[in-house]
Amino acid sequence: MTNRLPIAEGLFTWPAQQPALLASRCRACGIASFPVAQSCMACSGQDVEVEELPGRGTLWTWTIQQFMPKSPYNSGETPETFRPYGVGYLELPGGVRVEGRLTENDPAKLHVGMEMEVVFDTWRTEPNGDEIVSFFFKPVA
């Protein structure tokens, strides 16, 4: 059986039936931040609680990364297998705008304000067979 491991601990609920991105919210000023932080960037408060972010939002802005980044990029791709990928900020209502990779890389199919959902999928497979899971933003059909 293959192990499916999150790309980082504490980034999203895992394992879970329906995983969700995790944010910290400041009990003093109410500002949310992703990923979870120990203190609040807005008011310097240190009294924060962890909460699940909504799984759906609107695309605030986006681009397509057309060339393969240098290290620390670690996708298991080679220059020959590299495929351009979309990147964007998804506005999660009541939460925060989260940056992430998009499942879509065709600029003609992307526009500011479109509905997207947060999905969780295999990001790369390690030499020992472990699958590393990350989060992605996918257009809502």
Applying CB under 8 A, the residues found at the interface with other proteins are: 7-8, 11, 23, 31, 33-35, 41-42, 60-67, 69-75, 85, 87-89, 91, 95-101, 107, 112, 123, 134
Q: Please report how close the Cβ of residue 104 comes to other proteins at its closest, in angstroms.
A: 12
Q: Which of 3/77 has CB closer to other proteins? A: 77
Sequence-ordered list of residues with C-beta below 8 angstroms from that of 133, at least 6 positions apart, any chain: 4, 5, 6, 7, 14, 120, 121, 122, 123
Q: Which helix (H) or strand (E) holds 136?
A: strand 131-139
Q: Which of 93/129 has CB closer to other proteins? A: 93
Q: Please report how close the Cβ of residue 54 comes to other proteins at its closest, in angstroms.
A: 12
Q: Please report how close the Cβ of residue 53 comes to other proteins at its closest, in angstroms.
A: 9
Sequence-ordered list of residues with C-beta below 8 angstroms from that of 70, at least 6 positions apart, any chain: none
Place of tokens 């799984």: 55
